[in-house]
């Protein structure tokens, strides 16, 4: 399993726009083959910073999503709203604490 964390920093005036894009696409992303978990987080210190936290069955599933029309269309709407370059990390899960 792959755990993907992506940090997104938005213009303050575009937070509501991003939340609407997210609302419009979240169920389709969750239904994408290989997605096990999808969560959006907003920083408690800076409301312009969001994180996606997702679990994928495999690296191939994640890459298939990143090449999909769903990702490309969502990204095209989201990208102009950023104030900073997104950062992403793909991780192997080692251990889950009970």
Calpha distance 97→39 (Å, rounded): 19
In the predicted model, residues of the chain with pLDDT beneath 50 are none
User: Given this model, what pLDDT does residue 19 score?
Assistant: 96
All domains of the chain in start order, with CATH: 2-92 (3.30.70.100)
List the structure tokens of 78.
């989201």
What's the CA angle centered on 75, arms 37 and 16, to 5 degrees?
A: 85
- For the stretch 45-73, pLDDT in tens is 999 999 999 999 999 999 999 999 999 99
* Paired residues of 8 in beta bridges: 50
């Amino acid at each position: 399993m792959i755990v993907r964390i992506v940090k997104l920093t938005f213009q303050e005036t575009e937070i509501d726009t991003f939340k609407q894009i997210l609302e419009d696409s979240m169920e389709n992303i969750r239904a994408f083959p290989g997605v096990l978990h999808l969560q959006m987080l907003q920083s408690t210190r800076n409301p312009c910073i969001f994180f996606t936290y997702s679990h994928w069955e495999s690296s191939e599933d994640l890459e298939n999503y990143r090449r999909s029309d769903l990702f490309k269309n969502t990204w095209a709407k989201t990208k102009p709203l950023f104030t900073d370059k997104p950062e992403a990390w793909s991780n192997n899960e080692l251990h889950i604490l009970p």
